[in-house]
Amino acid sequence: MAYVITEACIGTKNTACVAACPVDCIYDVGDHYMINPEECIECSMCMPVCPVEAIYPGDEVPEDMQHYATKAVEYDYSKIAPGWGVN
């Protein structure tokens, strides 16, 4: 299952994860970044560079943050480009 960015990213939006992603599957969705699960190759490159530990493997997202996984699955990524500063 794809990686999920959770609430610790809100207000921080450090771009280290975006820069580390080899397939450009991380999108700026306003108050935080989100990983498109359809594009994520589960390489885990984003997780260790996140300074606020907001990224979890999909099957390890804490129960109280599961809504971030749902949001990532249901989000319409077709209207924005991956990365930062391009939307």
The CATH code of the domain that includes 60 is: 3.30.70.20
pLDDT in tens, 8-24: 999 888 999 999 999 99
Q: Do the domain assignments include residue 85?
A: no
Instruction: Supply the pLDDT for residue 47.
Output: 97
Give me the residue label for tokens 């990532």: 72
DSSP H/E element including 18: helix 16-20
Instruction: Supply the pLDDT for residue 85.
Output: 57
Supply the range of the domain harboring residue 60: 3-78
- Flag whether the pTM goes above 0.75: yes
The tens-digit pLDDT sequence of the chain (87 residues) is 799 999 999 988 899 999 999 999 999 999 999 999 999 999 999 999 999 999 999 999 999 999 999 999 999 999 999 986 544
CA 5/CA 27 separation, integer angstroms? 10
Domain count, the chain: 1
